Structure 1
Amino acid sequence: MDAAIFSLSFAVAAFVVFALCKPFDRRLTLAAGALFALYLGLDDLVTGLASSVPALAVVGGAWNWSGKLYSLALAALVALALGIKPAALGLTLRQRHLGTSLAVLGLFVVWGLGLGLWFKPGVADAETLAFQVSMPGLAEELAYRGIAPALLLGWIGGREPRREERMPWAAIVATAVVFGLWHGLGYARGAYSFDPMSALFPFIGSLAGGWLRFRSGSLLFPLLIHSVANLAFHLSAYLDAYLGGG
């Protein structure tokens, strides 16, 4: 029950964020905001299914592999049902401004290492590294940098982005704020909680990822910066040990 209440509350919060960003971009309509909020609420719900119903944990392990697979399946279903084309999701290997993307990738390696040295996550096992370098980047970038902005901008029913369209900052900020809230908000036993630090860093990373998705015209580098930052964070224990040993 807690999971369902949180997902509904999260969808409401997503719609409020949309409403605050809507005046800054005429492309954001009420219907788009409703789809955006509904999708992200459902994404949260399916991502937590394996934790709420252990029988649905089709993949074992300490990490939520099953939930991320359900999130990917939901994204595919929504894209097919609403006629969202690959170009609207950034599903292309063709890159604009490749040099910029490579520079941001390098910065996110440093970002991940820096956060790891600060928060000290400890030595990660093989499953942790495999999960962190794959599933969060795949599922979360497709949801928050692929499907969600496409819904906000009305790129459904076969509509595609035009090359000359301006940077959709309202959609980027909306998805970044909601992504931060998703990491920082909690609900258990009738009470909400909020951890500002858990929300802040995903929000910052999401702003960069959203900008890069539209700057490059592709979801590839947002996915890569997410994955390498996660990997660097969990490998930072080795750098910490080396620096301490020095």
Structure 2
Amino acid sequence: MHVHIATYSLTFAVMALLLALAAMPFDRRIGVATAALFALYLGLDDLDTALPTAVAAADLLGGRWNWSGKVYSLLLAAVVIWIFRLRPDAVGLTFRQRNLRASMIALVLLVALGAALGFAFDPDTPSFETLAFQATMPALAEELAYRGVAPALLLGLIGRKAPPGQVPWAVVVVTAVMFSLWHGLGYGRDGFSFEPVSASFTLVGGLAYGWMRFNSGSLLFPLLAHALGNLVFQLTAFV
């Protein structure tokens, strides 16, 4: 199991590197070094998130859901922010908002999409732990990683560099595709597997969250959209 997780994380990092290099002609801020940092970070984020599922001693928080893995993801993001001196606004850690109306409209639409998916897929009745987890940890850890730290590294916002004032679409697309693959790809004893439905919905979400993050200048609305969408999906089981 340990080998499977390491193999997947390494493969995931290689895919991230190749995709980032392919995006270089579309955004001159992307370079070989920033692409390598981006890929390394996503590979490590996948590895430490999956660690508690493979090593029982690493599952410090326990529970049905992977609380420990999400906490490790948040800690990794904090360490990377500190090491590379990423400004708070470079990773979206600010309450200041641009284009507030557009963000609010997108938030409503994405939460409505979460409800529609819930009615379509009819989830099992959730426990209190499921509701607590889905309303907090995926949004916190994944938005900080995929809409905060990873784009900042890919754009080279190291050493207190300011974030862009416009949406860097090449970076948004690259991170959205990797976010989609992270949810859709799997690896086990029988090799790689792929879930196109999960990958498709998370690709749409990744593009929307990425646009919201840079259009607003903050992670606040992507985080809210992600958390509320997950929560509403689960709550449709009670309807």
TM norm structure 1: 0.94
2:56 is aligned to 54
TM-fit CA distance, 1:162: 4.6
The aligned counterpart of 1:243 is none
SS at match of 1:37: helix
C-alpha separation between the residues in 2 aligned to 1:230 and 1:162? 29
Find 1:125's aligned residue among 116, 124, 127: 127
CA distance in 2, matches of 1:105, 1:129: 19
Match of 2:233 in 1: 233
Does the residue aligned with 1:84 lie in a helix, a strand or coil? coil
The amino acid that maps onto 2:16 is: A
Partner Cα separation in structure 1 for residue 164 and residue 185 of structure 2: 35
Any runs of at least 4 consecutive aligned residues in structure 1 with deviations exceeding 2 A, and if so which?
none
Deviation at 1:161, TM superposition (A): 1.7
Counterpart of 1:189, as a letter, is R
Give the structure 1 partner of residue 68 of structure 2.
Answer: 66
Residue 19 (structure 1) shift: 1.9
Q: CA deviation at 1:119?
A: 1.0
Superposition CA RMSD, Å: 0.9
**Equivalent residues, number:** 237
2:42: which partner in 1?
40
1:19 to 5, 21, 24: 21
Structure 2 counterparts to residues 136-215 of structure 1, below 5 A: 136-163=138-165, 166-189=166-189, 191-215=191-215
| Cα separation, 2, equivalents of 1:147 and 1:190 | 33
Query: 1: CA distance between counterparts of 2:116 and 2:164?
Result: 37
Please tell me whether residue 3 in structure 1 is matched to residue 9 in structure 2. Answer: no
Contiguous gaps of at least 5 residues in structure 2: none
Contact 2:100 2:216 in 1 (8 A): yes
Offset of residue 102 of structure 1: 1.2
> For residues 122-147 of structure 1, what are the alpha-carbon distances to aligned partners after superposition, in whole Å with 9 as ceiling and x for unaligned?
21110000000000000000000000
- Match of 1:107? 109
Distance 2:113 2:178 in 1: 21
Q: Contact between 2:21 and 2:31, CA under 8 Å: does it hold in 1?
A: no
Show structure 1 runs of 5+ residues with no match. Answer: 240-246
Separation of aligned partners in 2, 1:159 and 1:190: 44
The CA distance in 2 between the partners of 1:115 and 1:153, in whole Å, is: 33
CA separation in 2, counterparts of 1:37 and 1:190? 25
In structure 1, distance between residues paired with 2:164 and 2:182: 30
Question: How big is the shift at 1:20?
Answer: 2.1
Residue equivalent to 1:244 = none
Aligned AA (2:98): R
Distance of 1:162 and 1:181 partners within structure 2: 26
- What letter corresponds to residue 127 of structure 1 in structure 2? E
Q: Secondary structure at the match of 1:48?
A: helix
